Structure 1
């Protein structure tokens, strides 16, 4: 027998109250989504005063990225995914910061090859994804590896959980609301409430009636799940970082070593190298390096990239080779 004079889905007072609650929740979440999207759109469209990446003090000029962003994080925040170039820039950054040493060498049949060696162990100064990448390139008890061996058929650089770790790092630093590969907590809660609502609807329909209460619960879950997908991934701080990175890219494209004291030029250019890689400004960087007297700081050459020719002309070839190795690792990671 159908419970109640009008069936289990009758608009009783409890059912009407539940539907009113659904309307209130819907209105609140809709307002939240609209405000968040407008705020982030405003942040994205607002022109910002470019931050000078050079910090000057009594010791000279030093390169400093906006909001402390690391080279590998830049591409992730801009396009919401981890690409091979982001990992390549991270490798260069690890070399610049003294964890790796890259040296040109001669391989089989006189072909150009590169040696990647460990200079210092991972420590607490590294982000988790940086330490993981260091361990992938040079596993335990491995002190050096050759590019040619990484490129051999059957060789695999498994980047593992690095993308997830980079997304988590972006969330920790306040640039992301949620990771791009996941729907987010609000959507997860919404799906859970939706499923619970289906159970409540079924139970009420075959017992005491007022099944519209369960329908209202389903509606709340559906609205929460939808709101979670509509919220922007980047926060207002993330959008602001994108604007500052655009200014940094412009700075690197017009970099002039003559604006720096001779003793500061190598240090600034070296620190800027991984940012030039990830922002597509390697050409201007190489031009600036070509004009640099690397012996001006008292030590000839750059200490993180060793070459017999005393210049960095072969660095683009190294980056291309490393991009290929890491891109293959990312491809294999995504295979079922």
Structure 2
């Protein structure tokens, strides 16, 4: 009798109201979190500019994703490597940021990449990475140090498939986000607070389902589960909000992205020279404009292939190196980008690092990739 009475209370009109209130409150809380995690910008300054040393400038919030008019920029922001440029664009670390960092290290002379044996017309099944015997005399960022240590900690050579299983690859993604925080690009970066926000939704779902199936909580259990799913959907993929400093760098990166996405072969060849294609390649990767970059490069190289392949001396293809092999390497069917990014995405999936694989499909439209 008591059980029937309790069950009737759990399924009564008041319970429906309580369940609806829980679900609505969870949705409101989710939107509030999204609202509070907005970017900042400097009040009264041209977007992309930083205050002069000692200058006091007010800050205001802007909606996440709001894009101000940007001026085309013909080179990367000063001191901003490709991985950090990717963080400035979207406030998070995806596999493409790590693969672009590796390519950037290669073109700067820290390592070389060798495709392993493959049948004619097919992609190599793996890539061999060799540490440079005489590396450049230049400082490395913490992320770059971790990636090189992960690759060559056990010796001067490794394969890409073995590299992806190294713990240093996972920690490098955290380090890259930490570098952005050290530059004061992020409004706040606390793994504890981020974890607590993302854990609220799943916790509510578990409690709601447990209340529904084990305790007969009826509509209250449903309300908790629905509210938890709503909150989780609204908050689980939120990027880190940018500070005004970070937002200014983002605007600069957007200007450079616009240049890479719209420049034509003759324009680039005349303005910067084909040799810069190798230096700009990692930026094209993180900006998601690698298809256009490849097309422009192919056109320029076909028009004048003589003496322009030195920029890719970090790709060791043997004595039969030909222009067509370079072009094939950067094609969608035989892409080094595909191999690199898939390896990083596979590592992220293997480790259960959902956040790292977000957006990879958008960045590499037409390539293999994870979520």
Q: Given the superposition, is the C-alpha separation of residues 131 and 50 from structure 1 closer, same or farther in structure 2, using an over 3 Å criterion?
A: same
Instruction: Mark the runs of 5 or more structure 1 residues left unpaired by the alignment.
Output: 1-31, 54-63, 188-231
User: Which residue in 2 is equivalent to 1:167?
Assistant: 177
Supply the RMSD in Å over aligned alpha carbons: 3.6
1:128 is the counterpart of 2:136: no
1:44 Cα shift? Answer: 7.3
1:4-153 equivalences in 2 (<5 Å): 39-41=60-62, 47-53=68-74, 64-107=75-118, 112=124, 113-119=126-132, 120-121=134-135, 125-140=139-154, 142-147=155-160, 149-150=161-162
1:46 Cα shift? Answer: 7.2
CA distance in 1, matches of 2:165, 2:66: 42
CA distance in 2, matches of 1:326, 1:267: 27
**Which structure 1 residue ranges, 4+ long, deviate > 4 Å from structure 2?**
32-38, 42-46, 107-111, 120-124, 260-264
Q: Given the superposition, is the C-alpha separation of residues 67 and 301 from structure 1 closer, same or farther in structure 2, using an over 3 Å criterion?
A: closer
CA distance in 2, matches of 1:277, 1:65: 13
1:99 Cα shift? Answer: 0.8
1:35 Cα shift? Answer: 11
1:259 is the counterpart of 2:271: no
1:249 Cα shift? Answer: 1.8
Of 272, 277, 285, the residue aligned with 1:269 is 277
CA distance in 1, matches of 2:116, 2:344: 21
* TM-score normalized with structure 1 length: 0.61
User: Which residue in 1 is equivalent to 2:222?
Assistant: none
SS of residue paired to 1:179 = coil
- Contact 2:39–2:247 under 8 Å retained in 1: no
CA distance in 2, matches of 1:257, 1:65: 19
CA distance in 2, matches of 1:98, 1:272: 15
- Contact 1:99–1:122 under 8 Å retained in 2: yes
1:234 Cα shift? Answer: 1.1
CA distance in 2, matches of 1:150, 1:33: 37
**Cα deviation 1:28-64 (Å, max 9, x = unaligned):** xxxx9999687131897573552522xxxxxxxxxx3
1:302 is the counterpart of 2:316: no
User: Which residue in 1 is equivalent to 2:241?
Assistant: 233
Q: Given the superposition, is the C-alpha separation of residues 251 and 139 from structure 1 closer, same or farther in structure 2, using an over 3 Å criterion?
A: same
Which structure's CA Rg is the greater one?
1
Q: Tell me the number of residue pairs that the alignment of Structure 1 and Structure 2 aligns.
A: 242
CA distance in 2, matches of 1:172, 1:245: 18
Instruction: Mark the runs of 5 or more structure 2 residues left unpaired by the alignment.
Output: 1-35, 42-58, 198-239, 354-371
**Cα deviation 1:282-318 (Å, max 9, x = unaligned):** 1121122212245345x65621223334323223522
- Contact 1:262–1:296 under 8 Å retained in 2: no
1:181 is the counterpart of 2:191: yes
CA distance in 2, matches of 1:132, 1:86: 14
* TM-score normalized with structure 2 length: 0.55
